[in-house]
Amino acid sequence: MTTNGHLAAPPVPTSIIDNVPLNDAQRAAVVYDGGPQLVFAGAGSGKTRVLTAKIAWLIGHKRITPHNIFAATFTNKAAQEMKQRVRALTGSPCDSLWIGTFHSLCARILRREASRLGFLPSFTIYDADDQVSAMKKVIKEMEIDERAIPPRQALGAISKYKNACTPPEDLDPAAAPFFQREIIRIYREYARMLKRVQAMDFDDLLCNAVYLFRKNPPVLASYQDLFRYVLVDEYQDTNLAQFYLVKHLAGRSNAIFVVGDDDQSIYGWRGANIENILSFEKAFPGTHTFTLEQNYRSTQAVLRFANTVIAGNTRRAEKKLWTSRSGSARVRVTRYMDGRQEADCIGDDIRELVRGGMPAPLVCVLFRTNAQSRAFEEAFRRKQLPYVLIGAVGFYERKEIKDCLAYLRLIVNPLDDLSFERIANVPPRGLGDRAFKDLRTAARAAGCSLLQIILKGDFSMVADRARKGCADLRELFTEVNSWNAAGTAPHEVLSGMLTRTGYMDMLQGDDSEESEGRLENINELMNTLTIWSGANEGKALSDFLQEVSLETDVDRWQKRDDAVNLMTMHCAKGLEFKAVFLAGLEDGILPSRLNFDDEEKMAEERRLLYVGVTRAMDVLRCSYAEQRWRFGSVTPMSPSRFLHDVPPEVFDFEDRAAFHPAREPAHHTRRNAVAAGPSKSWRGQDDHPKYDAPDHFTQETVAFRIGQYITHKNYGRGRIVSLSGFGKDLQLTIVFNDGARRKLMAAFANLENS
């Protein structure tokens, strides 16, 4: 049964939401109380408002206490905003409400029940970088060649097992082909290593929660009694483990409310299963389905474009967005000669919008891959156009910040060998590879961690030159553990530790721009921890570390009053902007060349474009280039096949390639480029000759940026501190972890993102 925007809500008492502006379809979804609910919420249709009003209605009208509500969101920022809205609607504190990301809610459950799975409540949560480091150790100890099975490839294969909630002991390597057999072996050793150091990775937070409920029916029953209602946001992006979790928690009462949009399912590459939303009614019999189609975000021009884009996908819930908003700006599709011209012209267009009164933070440039950001960064720097890049090297991914966090982790979890090995010789303490090897041997013989061996005080297993370093570490952690036990504020513990270790002296003694930046970052971490301590009185250091581990790019995003935004379409999910520029809409980029032969992945690529389009409120400008630097050479490009599905009357076509400075006759003006409809070349006909790359081309396919961390085969991990040149002559200055500063040619360095 479907309820749409034209059916009236039933006349039931709803005083708690009387002041919430809801249309008929939204109101009907909020006050429905007859079993499982599925709400198909089109882009910009007020999904968050409905979900928030539903929680408020459950608390205020149904008299369900906040502690008995489980609400899963996809960002921590969304959870905090929803909690504030619910508090405002109900007029009562909602601090006990179980609302947050799936990962944070599962972490909360697992810390309460950790012993049932053989973990301590203080287990460490490993982020993506930690996982790679841990996997490298596992592969090395198993004497497997990293070139045969790269750590990231192994983690990707293991992630699929975890998303399906398949533990390593359920897999039979004997019946598997060679590569899969090796992955299963690695999976088993990786799981043993995580248990030994008392750590879980992101996937573990989900699958371990499912294992907890599978293996402990009384525990599951207690949580089913606790959660009288289960709500899930962005249900189209849940994976199999999240489905199992929801099914366990709501399986007995069927008191479940999920909201999502199958047309915005864009995370299949990381395990999201669109079948969860399309087959919801089968999993929860008696489901009542609602469809929200009235869009409050975009103009009709944007929605016409969006509807024609997504109509190319055949297997989807039927819906068509409409709006009562008026707006005169038509969607524009522009052809450029190359990526450099595209970035330059978009920068000029943005400057015009801002000068015309458009607030810079409400303008966004979206692209398919992070690699595409570089051309825009260079162009915007040249034009002195302030910008914020979302999804670049995160604050908590910087070396100095990870060092600080490793020190703090060891206070909370002394079994975390990975953190110990990161900081044991930072600053240098004379502990080399031989010392670490001797400490590992002693730790395994004693059945304890590396830090625990240090705290025992017997350093006879290491060479004389390493004993002073071991003694320093013992003295340090004995002292800081006493500070922590005495209730010293977390920021004071960190400050004392950095001073005590000489870490700050190490940076201050290096009179370089990079060290100055690192000091500023540490100061910012201190400020963050100080503010957090004041706002979370009574919470422990472990709570801060957990929040840091589970932050997303969007959670870390800080808008600047003077800056436009650059981000991938994946990062933009759930956001909206007055003006959106969709760049690089070409076959091979969107859709990705890797997905051409996979029908399901191509459908997801189309949904990704739809998500990008529906971020726009008033202005939408799409663009593609005739040629780009791809894989080290200039490559002819064709407009995205998805654009071919959009009727000419839905947009204005603009050909700026014909008037690029390299071609443009003196008498041409930009006005000549705008046409009422597409030219022949729009449909892919080669009516323009291909030109050699101009001298100012940049190598866009390799996304090197200042501050980026990379890995070199011989020199190891390092950070880019400066760039010079472009294209094949691009030169990188990199400071490696050994302290050496090296200049390398990007085209020949064979660097990997780290």
CB of 383 within 8 A of CB of 505? no
Q: How is residue 634 written in tokens?
A: 């200039």
3-state DSSP assignment of residue 420: helix
Residue type, 407: Y
Tell me which residue has tokens 């043993």.
192
Active site residue 215: no
Taking the CB of residue 448, how many other CB atoms lie within 10 A of it?
15
CB of 126 within 8 A of CB of 409? no
Catalytic residue among 264, 287, 291, 546: 264
Catalytic residue among 113, 203, 234, 618: 234
Active site residue 669: no
The β-bridge partners of 627 are: 338, 636
Active site residue 234: yes
Q: How far apart are CA 411 and CA 541, in angstroms?
A: 9
Q: How far apart are CA 735 and CA 709, in angstroms?
A: 10
CB of 73 within 8 A of CB of 82? yes
Catalytic residue among 398, 399, 573, 615: 615
Q: How far apart are CA 628 and CA 690, in angstroms?
A: 11
Active site residue 48: yes
Catalytic residue among 182, 189, 233, 605: 233
Cα 136–chain centre separation: 23
Dihedral sign computed on CA atoms, order 74, 79, 80, 86 = positive
Q: How far apart are CA 240 and CA 692, in angstroms?
A: 49
Catalytic residue among 27, 47, 316, 573: 47
Q: What are phi and psi of 273, to 5 degrees?
A: -120, 105
Active site residue 47: yes
> Any idea what DSSP says for residue 575?
-
Active site residue 593: no
Q: How far apart are CA 455 and CA 102, in angstroms?
A: 37
Bridge-based pairing state of the strands 37-41 and 256-260: parallel
Q: How far apart are CA 324 and CA 327, in angstroms?
A: 10
Catalytic residue among 24, 33, 48, 80: 48
Q: How far apart are CA 183 and CA 172, in angstroms?
A: 11
Q: How is residue 574 written in tokens?
A: 């759930």
The torsion angle over the Cα atoms of residues 32, 33, 36 and 37, rounded to 10 degrees, is: 10
* DSSP H/E element including 249: helix 240-250
**Cis peptide before 428, with omega less than 30 degrees from 0?**
no
Catalytic site residues?
47-48, 233-234, 264, 615
